[in-house]
């Protein structure tokens, strides 16, 4: 099909033809076209179906405010729903589909909804689908979801990259129309660091869409000249295709740059879109104005559009949306559409002007005091019905109708901090209030200065003020000559009618009738109106409809518009894809990985890794022939207990604590005492929260008189450090304590088992006999002359050490340990075996440290020293927390050794019903103990210590298990600790 509606002029490159398809039909357009302008050029007006009634729809705008022309772009994994055809930059090979229709756009079976529109009025869902409640999830919701909604997802992973970034500037100018260009030029010439962002791919704003001149040039040529100058200034960054979507606190703006959306696929390595966080000293909002329609019966047919859009298609894109057109207006700006189109040779059948009196247009049939009262045309406009001032009704055959109900300053960003715009009667529109976000200065049409001259002046003056405010002296600027016509509007909010439907919000299918219904049911406040009718709740946020809805409500309630309320907007200004917000953080790049020093070796061995926070730790190391994880874990446990095992424990947090008050400091952050710890020894420490619950635990070693090394759990390394800084700075600011994390500076390995000493003695340079290096000893040693640290601590209950070397030697160290351990059949064990052994030994970890447990609950009550003031000690002694019959840590084993246990099971007395009032506690962690040959578990049991030997049940209603258990000591292995001290 040829471009039948292409007319002369416009800022398109006719030498470049671009082929594209829409619903499988191939068309051609030109470089500089949008999808909408190219389709209109090809005579295609029908581009979508409405949300609720599936009414045939075409574009009503030529910009991002578009509610109707939503299409799916591209195919396969790059398919993107709900894209506004009016802002899609045409490229060669573009594939677009209409959406929300079945089986085809011209015949949509769901259009049956339109026939039943009397049922589907506002509040329909609330009224209809409330009862019976059980129907909602199974019946109503699936049906509604299928029937409503917009485009569909491909359900394939998006193959493109998205990125984020940070920009800094003195001045961000939002919008590159006349006021934005003038602002950027004034500030840029004065040397400010300026960012000029515009959502369009061609800067110039309305200047590109009008025939109005600036200086002695056309507006578009002037804009192109300014854009070229700005691009040449090193202190100005030009960002076309960039939507500033949100104004955040203190001069931070969010913006999305569509880096590759205008290309078939992004260039290699380049993102599809970038989400920018822009730090500004000032911002100038030059976002222009958005035209609003005048609702009349059946005002939603393809071909009926905003007058300014009709004119933009003709002037910027060289497209006549129809060969016979009419204009329906209540203001002078609408008249421009008629004159511009007539100059372009389009047949302007009539101008229907709701105002009476005033000068008549020359050479055009200008009907004053008239209204458009209806339209016809199933899939596109064929005729309109006009009622004259005297009441005579006639029908006019037209293919397009431009409607202008006036212009709303684009205040969106000014209300992102909940500033409510204020009403101006002379403009019949809201303008930004003075409490717009600090540093954000609205200018030009966005401020209600709707003439070209006023826009240029507003932009220049605001920029000059910014230049002065930021200490860059006084900026000079020359204002080019431009039209300065006053706004001439007589509000005419909608065409009154008792029967059919007149659309206000075309995207959510909200009509004048719906607003009347809301009024009738007393949902008269703006907030209620919005929620009851869904007015303005679609993806366009009601850019064209909100003010109309309020105006209709104002009339119904007999109040003025400002009395009725205001409408405010929220970020994002236009929809932002989740991909852009996620940036690089997806898939395997969702978060960084932290690798342990033994990672390379473990990978070579085929280790299975587990994510612990950001760390990848060895979970177990399967050997040849092992097919089940339990085989590996059981082997690792048994070999460690029998001879020796090696485990990478680098991930535990390590904090260096120095200073003459380091001991006193530790006494206050730990429930037990550290100032009395001898140099060269370590001690298990218990850290409480101020409310008395256990926060973290670990061993801390005294390396010198004023030097300690604290270890934390892997999970709490960061929060413990934060807490220590809090204590140091906020609570005891004059203690002589300096702290720094050393977690990653040292590669640390646990060597545990009866042969641990023999193995290590082969590695270290010093004597580590029990006499030379006793239980809980700590100190600096050397390994082949290399500085290292040794701690004689155990988590497994075995004779054990932790040896630390500088991390760069960590890989060599694991290899040396394995090599030295060969004669002992040493194993390297992972986190699973670690967990088995700590439960066998009765150490709390993970699930038992649940933030609701005290030291007493854990069987560690005696560690809490009451002789000193430490965080949490006082609160841990509250009456309810020290009840004799409170929860205590116990061991659990199944009465039948063959039966497994389930973590999360609750303890119940034999015979008690499985209900909450019989709950006696719960099982926190369980493992299979290869040493004992059956499952074992730890748990919290009411009055547990006194109940050792009792038989009860462990019930897990989720898993459907009910197991007979015996309560035992939590120390399954070596309760006297003889192995540790061997």
Question: Does 873 engage in binding with other proteins (CB under 8 A)?
Answer: yes
Tell the smallest beta-carbon distance from residue 651 to other proteins (Å): 8
Q: Which is nearer to other proteins, 328 or 746 (CB)?
A: 746
Q: Which is nearer to other proteins, 252 or 948 (CB)?
A: 252
Q: Which is nearer to other proteins, 656 or 966 (CB)?
A: 656
- Stretch of residues binding other proteins (CB under 8 A), selected from 76-84, 271-279, 343-351, 932-940: 271-279
Tell the smallest beta-carbon distance from residue 573 to other proteins (Å): 20
Backbone angles phi, psi at 529, to 5 degrees: -55, -45
Question: Does 585 engage in binding with other proteins (CB under 8 A)?
Answer: yes
Q: Name which of residues 935 to 964 contact other proteins (CB under 8 A).
A: none
Taking residue 157's Cβ as centre, other Cβ atoms within 10 Å add up to 9
Question: Does 736 engage in binding with other proteins (CB under 8 A)?
Answer: yes
Question: Does 765 engage in binding with other proteins (CB under 8 A)?
Answer: yes
Distance in angstroms between the alpha carbons of the first and the last residue of the chain: 92
Q: Which is nearer to other proteins, 481 or 584 (CB)?
A: 584
Cβ atoms of 214 and 480 closer than 8 Å = yes
Residue 805 makes CB contacts below 8 A (sequence gap 6+) with: 746, 747, 783, 786, 787, 788, 813
Tell the smallest beta-carbon distance from residue 722 to other proteins (Å): 6
Q: Name which of residues 221 to 240 contact other proteins (CB under 8 A).
A: none
Specify the 3-state DSSP secondary structure of 310.
helix
Question: Does 809 engage in binding with other proteins (CB under 8 A)?
Answer: yes
Cβ atoms of 69 and 48 closer than 8 Å = yes
Task: Identify the residue among 5, 643, 755, 807 touching other proteins (CB under 8 A).
Answer: 807
Buried b (16+ CB within 10 A) or exposed e, 51-86: bbbbbbbbbbbbbbbbbbbbbbbbeeebbbbbbbbb
Cβ atoms of 66 and 291 closer than 8 Å = no
d(CA 143, CA 536): 24
Task: Identify the residue among 76, 132, 269, 471 touching other proteins (CB under 8 A).
Answer: 269
Cβ atoms of 512 and 481 closer than 8 Å = no
Q: Which is nearer to other proteins, 209 or 871 (CB)?
A: 871
d(CA 924, CA 912): 21
* Distances, alpha carbon 93 to alpha carbons 19, 73, 505, in Å: 6, 11, 33
Question: Does 13 engage in binding with other proteins (CB under 8 A)?
Answer: no
Among the residues of 882-963, which ranges form H helices?
A: none
Give the chain's radius of gyration (CA, Å): 37
- Stretch of residues binding other proteins (CB under 8 A), selected from 164-172, 199-207, 491-499, 546-554: 164-172
Task: Identify the residue among 735, 912, 948, 968 touching other proteins (CB under 8 A).
Answer: 735
Task: Identify the residue among 167, 197, 306, 529 touching other proteins (CB under 8 A).
Answer: 167
Q: Which is nearer to other proteins, 419 or 506 (CB)?
A: 419
For residue 199 the two structure tokens come to 């959502």
What is the spatial order of strands in the sheet that 615-620 belongs to? 594-595, 615-620, 608-612
Task: Identify the residue among 424, 732, 754, 912 touching other proteins (CB under 8 A).
Answer: 732
Cβ atoms of 543 and 287 closer than 8 Å = no
Question: Does 882 engage in binding with other proteins (CB under 8 A)?
Answer: no
* Distances, alpha carbon 292 to alpha carbons 288, 379, 403, in Å: 13, 23, 8
Cβ atoms of 196 and 236 closer than 8 Å = yes
Q: Name which of residues 662 to 681 contact other proteins (CB under 8 A).
A: 664
Give the E-state strand segments of 152-297 in sequence order: 162-174, 194-197, 213-214, 217-218, 236-239, 242-247, 252-257, 273-285, 289-291
H/E element, 926: strand 921-929
Site track for other proteins across 293-312, x = CB under 8 A: --------------------
Q: Which is nearer to other proteins, 194 or 965 (CB)?
A: 194
Q: Name which of residues 587 to 646 contact other proteins (CB under 8 A).
A: 589, 591-596, 599-600, 614-615
Cβ atoms of 768 and 801 closer than 8 Å = yes
Q: Name which of residues 499 to 518 contact other proteins (CB under 8 A).
A: none
Cβ atoms of 929 and 919 closer than 8 Å = no
Question: Does 691 engage in binding with other proteins (CB under 8 A)?
Answer: yes
Tell the smallest beta-carbon distance from residue 782 to other proteins (Å): 10
Q: Name which of residues 102 to 161 contact other proteins (CB under 8 A).
A: 161
Tell the smallest beta-carbon distance from residue 702 to other proteins (Å): 14
For residue 508 the two structure tokens come to 């959510």
Site track for other proteins across 780-799, x = CB under 8 A: ---xxxxx------------
Q: Residue 137 carries which DSSP code?
A: I
Tell the smallest beta-carbon distance from residue 982 to other proteins (Å): 22
Question: Does 903 engage in binding with other proteins (CB under 8 A)?
Answer: no
For residue 955 the two structure tokens come to 């019930």
List 402's β-bridge partners, or say none.
Answer: 305, 327
Q: Name which of residues 436 to 465 contact other proteins (CB under 8 A).
A: 438
Helices (H) and strands (E) in the chain, counts: 23, 50
Task: Identify the residue among 816, 818, 903, 948 touching other proteins (CB under 8 A).
Answer: 816
Site track for other proteins across 404-423, x = CB under 8 A: -------------x------
Tell the smallest beta-carbon distance from residue 438 to other proteins (Å): 8
Backbone angles phi, psi at 165, to 5 degrees: -165, 175
Q: Which is nearer to other proteins, 163 or 484 (CB)?
A: 163
Q: Which is nearer to other proteins, 569 or 746 (CB)?
A: 746
Question: Does 733 engage in binding with other proteins (CB under 8 A)?
Answer: yes
Site track for other proteins across 314-343, x = CB under 8 A: ------------------------------
Question: Does 470 engage in binding with other proteins (CB under 8 A)?
Answer: no
Task: Identify the residue among 16, 115, 722, 883 touching other proteins (CB under 8 A).
Answer: 722
Cβ atoms of 164 and 586 closer than 8 Å = no
Residue 711 makes CB contacts below 8 A (sequence gap 6+) with: 652, 653, 654, 655, 698, 699, 700
Q: Which is nearer to other proteins, 167 or 455 (CB)?
A: 167
Question: Does 869 engage in binding with other proteins (CB under 8 A)?
Answer: yes
d(CA 574, CA 70): 13
Q: Taking the mean position of all CA atoms in its chain, how far away is CA 608?
A: 32
Q: Name which of residues 354 to 393 contact other proteins (CB under 8 A).
A: none
Query: Alpha-carbon torsion 625, 626, 628, 631, what sign?
Result: positive
Tell the smallest beta-carbon distance from residue 252 to other proteins (Å): 7
Q: Which is nearer to other proteins, 297 or 667 (CB)?
A: 667
Site track for other proteins across 534-573, x = CB under 8 A: ----------------------------------------
Q: Which is nearer to other proteins, 408 or 650 (CB)?
A: 650
Task: Tell me which residue of 752, 747, 741, 749 sits closest to 709, measured CA to CA.
Answer: 741
Tell the smallest beta-carbon distance from residue 150 to other proteins (Å): 31
Q: Residue 47 carries which DSSP code?
A: -
H/E element, 98: strand 94-98
Q: Which is nearer to other proteins, 161 or 950 (CB)?
A: 161
Question: Does 708 engage in binding with other proteins (CB under 8 A)?
Answer: no
Count of residues binding other proteins (CB under 8 A)? 93
* Distances, alpha carbon 305 to alpha carbons 311, 386, 398, 489, in Å: 10, 17, 13, 19
Task: Identify the residue among 132, 166, 587, 604 touching other proteins (CB under 8 A).
Answer: 166
Task: Identify the residue among 28, 217, 465, 706 touching other proteins (CB under 8 A).
Answer: 706
Tell the smallest beta-carbon distance from residue 413 to other proteins (Å): 16
Question: Does 250 engage in binding with other proteins (CB under 8 A)?
Answer: yes
d(CA 974, CA 492): 90
């Amino acid at each position: 099909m040829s471009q039948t509606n292409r007319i002369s002029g416009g800022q398109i490159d006719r030498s470049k033809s671009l082929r594209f398809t829409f619903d499988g039909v191939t068309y051609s357009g030109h470089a500089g076209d949008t999808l909408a302008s190219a389709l209109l050029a090809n005579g295609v007006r029908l581009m979508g179906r409405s949300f609720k009634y599936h009414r045939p729809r075409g574009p009503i705008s030529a910009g991002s405010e578009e509610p109707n022309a939503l299409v799916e772009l591209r195919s396969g994994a790059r398919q993107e729903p709900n894209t506004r055809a009016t802002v899609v930059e045409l490229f060669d090979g573009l594939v677009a589909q209409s959406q929300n229709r079945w089986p085809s756009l011209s015949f949509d079976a769901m259009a049956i909804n339109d026939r039943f529109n009397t049922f589907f009025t506002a509040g329909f869902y609330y009224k209809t689908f409330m009862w019976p409640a059980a129907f909602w999830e199974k019946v109503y919701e699936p049906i509604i979801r299928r029937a409503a909604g917009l485009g569909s997802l491909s359900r394939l992973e998006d193959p493109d990259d998205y990125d984020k970034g940070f920009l800094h500037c003195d001045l961000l100018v939002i919008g590159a129309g006349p006021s934005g260009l003038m602002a950027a030029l004034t500030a840029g010439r004065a040397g400010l660091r300026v960012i000029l962002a515009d959502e369009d791919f061609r800067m110039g704003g309305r200047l590109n869409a009008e025939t109005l001149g600036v200086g002695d040039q056309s507006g578009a040529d002037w804009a192109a000249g300014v854009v070229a100058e700005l691009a040449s200034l090193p202190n100005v960054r030009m960002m076309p295709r960039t939507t500033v979507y949100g104004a955040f606190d203190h001069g931070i703006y969010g913006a999305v740059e569509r880096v590759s959306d205008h290309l078939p696929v992004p260039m290699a390595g380049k993102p599809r879109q970038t989400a920018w966080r822009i730090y500004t000293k000032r911002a100038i909002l030059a976002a222009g104005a958005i035209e609003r329609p005048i609702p009349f019966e059946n005002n939603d047919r393809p071909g009926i559009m905003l007058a300014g859009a009709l004119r933009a298609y003709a002037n910027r894109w060289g497209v006549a949306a129809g060969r016979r057109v009419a204009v329906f207006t209540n203001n002078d700006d609408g008249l421009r559409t008629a004159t511009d189109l007539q100059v372009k040779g389009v047949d302007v059948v009539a101008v229907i002007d709701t105002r009476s009196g005033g000068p008549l247009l020359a050479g055009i049939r200008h009907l004053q005091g008239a209204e458009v009262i209806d339209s016809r045309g199933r899939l596109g406009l064929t005729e309109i019905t006009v009622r004259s001032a005297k009441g005579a009704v006639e029908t006019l055959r037209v293919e397009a109708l431009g409607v202008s109900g006036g212009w709303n300053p684009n205040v969106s960003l000014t209300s992102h901090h909940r500033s409510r715009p204020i009403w101006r009667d002379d403009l019949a529109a809201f303008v930004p209030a003075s409490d717009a976000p600090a540093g954000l200065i609205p200018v030009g049409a966005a401020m209600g200065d709707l003439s070209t001259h006023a826009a240029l002046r507003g932009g220049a003056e605001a920029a000059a003020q910014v230049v002065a405010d930021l200490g860059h002296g006084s900026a000079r600027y020359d204002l080019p000559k431009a039209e300065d016509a006053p706004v001439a509007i007589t509000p005419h909010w909608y065409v009154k009618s008792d029967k059919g439907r007149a659309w206000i919000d075309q995207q959510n299918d909200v009509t004048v009738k719906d607003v009347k219904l809301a009024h009738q049911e007393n949902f008269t406040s703006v907030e209620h109106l919005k929620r009851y009718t869904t007015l303005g709740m679609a993806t366009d946020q009601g850019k064209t409809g909100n003010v109309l809805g309020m105006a209709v409500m104002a009339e119904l309630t007999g109040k003025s518009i400002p009395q009725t309320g205001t409408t405010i907007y929220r970020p994002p200004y236009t929809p932002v894809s989740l991909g852009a917000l996620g940036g690089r953080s997806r898939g395997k790049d969702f978060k960084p990985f932290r690798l342990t020093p033994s990672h390379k070796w473990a990978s070579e061995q085929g280790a299975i890794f587990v994510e612990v926070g950001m760390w990848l730790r060895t979970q177990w190391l399967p050997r040849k022939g092992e097919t089940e994880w339990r085989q590996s874990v059981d082997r690792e446990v048994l070999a460690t207990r029998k001879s020796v095992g090696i485990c990478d424990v680098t991930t535990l947090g390590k904090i260096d604590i120095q200073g003459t008050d380091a001991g006193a400091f530790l006494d206050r952050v730990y429930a037990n005492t550290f100032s009395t710890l001898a140099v060269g020894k370590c001690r298990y420490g218990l850290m409480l929260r101020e409310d008395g619950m256990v926060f973290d635990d670990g061993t801390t070693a005294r390396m010198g008189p004023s030097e300690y090394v604290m270890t934390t759990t892997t999970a709490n390394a960061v929060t413990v450090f934060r807490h220590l800084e809090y204590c140091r700075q906020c609570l005891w600011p004059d203690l002589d304590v300096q702290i720094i994390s050393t977690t990653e500076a040292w590669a640390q390995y646990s060597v545990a088992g009866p042969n641990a000493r023999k193995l290590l003695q082969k590695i270290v340079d010093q004597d580590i006999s029990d006499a030379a290096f006793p239980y809980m000893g700590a100190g600096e040693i050397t390994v082949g002359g290399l500085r290292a640290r040794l701690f004689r601590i155990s988590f497994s209950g075995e004779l054990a050490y932790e040896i630390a070397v500088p991390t760069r030697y960590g890989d060599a160290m694991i290899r040396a340990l394995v090599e030295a351990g060969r004669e002992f059949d040493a194993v390297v064990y992972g986190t699973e075996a670690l967990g088995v052994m700590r439960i066998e030994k009765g150490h709390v970890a993970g699930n038992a440290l649940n933030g609701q447990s005290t030291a007493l609950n854990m069987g560690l009550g005696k560690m809490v020293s009451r002789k000193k003031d430490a965080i949490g000690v006082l609160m841990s002694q509250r009456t309810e927390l020290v009840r004799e019959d409170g929860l205590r840590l116990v061991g659990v084993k199944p009465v039948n050794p063959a039966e497994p246990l389930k973590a999360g099971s609750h303890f119940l007395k034999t015979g008690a019903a499985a209900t909450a009032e019989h709950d006696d506690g719960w099982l926190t962690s369980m493992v299979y103990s290869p040493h004992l040959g059956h499952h074992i578990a730890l748990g919290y049991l009411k009055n547990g210590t006194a109940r050792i030997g009792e038989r009860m049940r462990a019930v897990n209603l989720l898993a459907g298990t009910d197991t007979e258990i015996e309560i035992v000591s939590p120390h399954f292995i070596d309760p006297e600790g003889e192995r540790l001290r061997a």
